[in-house]
Structure 1
Amino acid sequence: MERKLIALDLDGTTLNAASQLNSATIQTMQRLQAAGHIVSIITGRSYQGSQHIYDDLHLTSPMINFNGSLGHLPHQSWASEYQFTLNKAVVLALVKYREQLGINQIIAENKTSTMTAGQDIVAGKFFPEIADSPRLTPETLTRNPNSLVLLVQLDRRSAIVDWINDHFGEVVDVGVWGGPDAILEVTSKGVHKAKGVAYLADYFHINRQNVIAFGDEHNDLEMLQYAGLGVAMTNGTDAIKSIADDVTTYDNDQNGVARYLTHYFGMAE
């Protein structure tokens, strides 16, 4: 069989409902990597928030963080590392008008740093790395971040999206997280997970038809459309399932990705 690039979203896909890896998932990825396939994490998470998962899977491949804004090789310097960043002016405008707009907390992240302004009770659930993070101010923000996450008041969400699009729509995209929490993600214009996957496919000389991607949410859409085989989780959104080439039989709590790949590659369970 030709070498495949297997692109894994983490939350709601490769990870179970407790945001953990099941042993079957670890074993399956190990076997595929040993067989010569490229297994790569493609996540909206920061590097700090995903490094332990990369290590637990014992991967040797590059990883894509911040939904395509950062591509790097963990624990090593990689000559092909890339990053897309947001202009500081966008960040500082949001910091300035944060309370007025109804933004509870702003989280600006790079590969190795996290800064925050404001406070929101759900932030720690998604961003454990913010616990001791420095304050985000015009003085401390010395470089353009890869990613900006806004925890907003739910009834103000659409107005905030409109405000950002009105002021900075030519240079940024705003994504709305699924789920009950009102979270917005601001990225450099035109950057999404498919950019990262395409970059890796090109780097490893893997034809698009040999890319298998798994996801469950809106931020996986372009990646699943790009892949030769885009697989939605059975626990995924209706929108994702409607554009996918296939849907897993089992959900993320039942090792859905591992079981799908075991079947696909004809491996004994």
Structure 2
Amino acid sequence: MERKLIALDLDGTTLNAASGLNAATIQTMQRLQAAGHIVSIITGRSYQGSQAIYDELKLASPMINFNGSLGHLPHRTWEHEYQFTVNKAIVLALVKYREQLGISQIIAENKNSTMTAGQDVVADQFFPEVANSPRLTPETLTRNPNSLVLIVQLDRRSAVVDWIKSHFGDLVDVGIWGGPNAILEITSKGVHKAKGVAYLADRFKIARQNIIAFGDEHNDLEMLQYAGLGVAMANGTPAIKAAADDITPYNNDQNGVARYLENYFDLAE
């Protein structure tokens, strides 16, 4: 069998309901990596928020963070490392009008740093790296971040999105998280997970038809459409399932990804 690039979303996909890894998932990824396939994490999470998972899977491949904005090789220098950033002038405009717009908290992240303005209990739940992070001010923000996360008041969400698009729509894209929490992700224009996957495939000389990607949410859409085999989780959103080539019979809490790959690669013992 030709070498495959296996692209793994984390939350709701590779990770179980407790945001951890099941033993079967670790074992399956290890076997596929040992067989010569490229197993790569492609996540919206920061590096800080995904490094422990990368290490637990014992991966040796590059990782894509911030939905495609950062591609790097954890723990090592990689000459092909890349990053896309958001102009800091946009960040500072949001800091300036934060309260006026109804933004509870702004989180600006780079590969190894996190800065915040404002405060919201939701941030502690989804972004553990914000605890004790430095304040985000015009004085402390010295470089463009890879990613910007806004936690906004639910009734103000549409207005915030409209404001960003009207002022900076030619420079950035705004992603809206599903679920009850009003969380917005801002990335450089045209950057999404598929960009990172395409970059890795090119580096490792893997044809598009040999890419298998797994996801469950809106930010996985382009990646699943780009991959030769885009697989939605059983617990995925209706839009993701509609766009996918296939759907896992099992959800993320039932080792859905591992079971699918065991079947695909015929790993049954």
Query: 1:53-79: CA deviations, max 9, x gaps?
Result: 000000000000000000000000000
In structure 2, how many angstroms separate the alpha carbons of the residues matched to 1:92 and 1:57?
Answer: 37
In structure 2, how many angstroms separate the alpha carbons of the residues matched to 1:169 and 1:243?
Answer: 26
AA aligned to 2:203 is Y
Query: 1:191-232: CA deviations, max 9, x gaps?
Result: 000000000000000000000000000000000000000000
AA aligned to 1:61 is S
AA aligned to 2:95 is V
- In the TM superposition, 1:128-143 aligns within 5 A as 128-143=128-143
| Alpha-carbon offset, residue 180 of structure 1 | 1.1
In structure 2, how many angstroms separate the alpha carbons of the residues matched to 1:200 and 1:164?
Answer: 31
Count matched residues: 269
- In the TM superposition, 1:216-231 aligns within 5 A as 216-231=216-231
1:104 aligns with 2:122: no
In structure 1, how many angstroms separate the alpha carbons of the residues matched to 2:89 and 2:196?
Answer: 25
In structure 2, how many angstroms separate the alpha carbons of the residues matched to 1:28 and 1:125?
Answer: 29
Instruction: Report the 3-state secondary structure (helix = DSSP H, G, I; strand = E; otherwise coil) of the residue aligned with 2:121.
Output: coil
* TM score, norm. by length of structure 2: 1.00
1:206 matched to which residue of 2?
A: 206
1:28 aligns with 2:33: no
In structure 1, how many angstroms separate the alpha carbons of the residues matched to 2:22 and 2:240?
Answer: 24
In structure 2, how many angstroms separate the alpha carbons of the residues matched to 1:38 and 1:180?
Answer: 35
AA aligned to 1:183 is I
1:147 matched to which residue of 2?
A: 147
1:169 matched to which residue of 2?
A: 169
1:119 matched to which residue of 2?
A: 119
Query: 1:83-103: CA deviations, max 9, x gaps?
Result: 000000100000000000000
In structure 2, how many angstroms separate the alpha carbons of the residues matched to 1:166 and 1:122?
Answer: 27
2:74 matched to which residue of 1?
A: 74
Instruction: Report the 3-state secondary structure (helix = DSSP H, G, I; strand = E; otherwise coil) of the residue aligned with 1:116.
Output: strand
In structure 2, how many angstroms separate the alpha carbons of the residues matched to 1:243 and 1:111?
Answer: 31
| Alpha-carbon offset, residue 179 of structure 1 | 1.2
In structure 2, how many angstroms separate the alpha carbons of the residues matched to 1:207 and 1:125?
Answer: 38
| Alpha-carbon offset, residue 134 of structure 1 | 0.1
1:49 aligns with 2:61: no
1:256 matched to which residue of 2?
A: 256
In structure 2, how many angstroms separate the alpha carbons of the residues matched to 1:71 and 1:231?
Answer: 22
AA aligned to 1:8 is L
| Alpha-carbon offset, residue 251 of structure 1 | 0.1
Query: 1:95-136: CA deviations, max 9, x gaps?
Result: 000000000000000000000000001101111111010000
Instruction: Report the 3-state secondary structure (helix = DSSP H, G, I; strand = E; otherwise coil) of the residue aligned with 1:196.
Output: helix
In structure 1, how many angstroms separate the alpha carbons of the residues matched to 2:249 and 2:184?
Answer: 30
1:160 aligns with 2:169: no
Query: 1:219-250: CA deviations, max 9, x gaps?
Result: 00000000000000010000000000000000
Determine what percentage of the aligned residue pairs are the same residue.
84
AA aligned to 1:210 is N
Instruction: Report the 3-state secondary structure (helix = DSSP H, G, I; strand = E; otherwise coil) of the residue aligned with 2:160.
Output: helix
In structure 1, how many angstroms separate the alpha carbons of the residues matched to 2:4 and 2:46?
Answer: 25
In structure 2, how many angstroms separate the alpha carbons of the residues matched to 1:103 and 1:229?
Answer: 38
In structure 2, how many angstroms separate the alpha carbons of the residues matched to 1:242 and 1:139?
Answer: 46
* TM score, norm. by length of structure 1: 1.00
AA aligned to 1:52 is A
In structure 1, how many angstroms separate the alpha carbons of the residues matched to 2:133 and 2:103?
Answer: 18
Instruction: Report the 3-state secondary structure (helix = DSSP H, G, I; strand = E; otherwise coil) of the residue aligned with 1:122.
Output: helix
Provide the alpha-carbon RMSD of the alignment. Answer: 0.4
2:247 matched to which residue of 1?
A: 247
1:181 matched to which residue of 2?
A: 181
In structure 2, how many angstroms separate the alpha carbons of the residues matched to 1:238 and 1:27?
Answer: 30
AA aligned to 1:200 is L
AA aligned to 1:192 is H
The runs of at least 4 consecutive aligned structure 1 residues that moved more than 6 Å come to none
| Alpha-carbon offset, residue 7 of structure 1 | 0.1
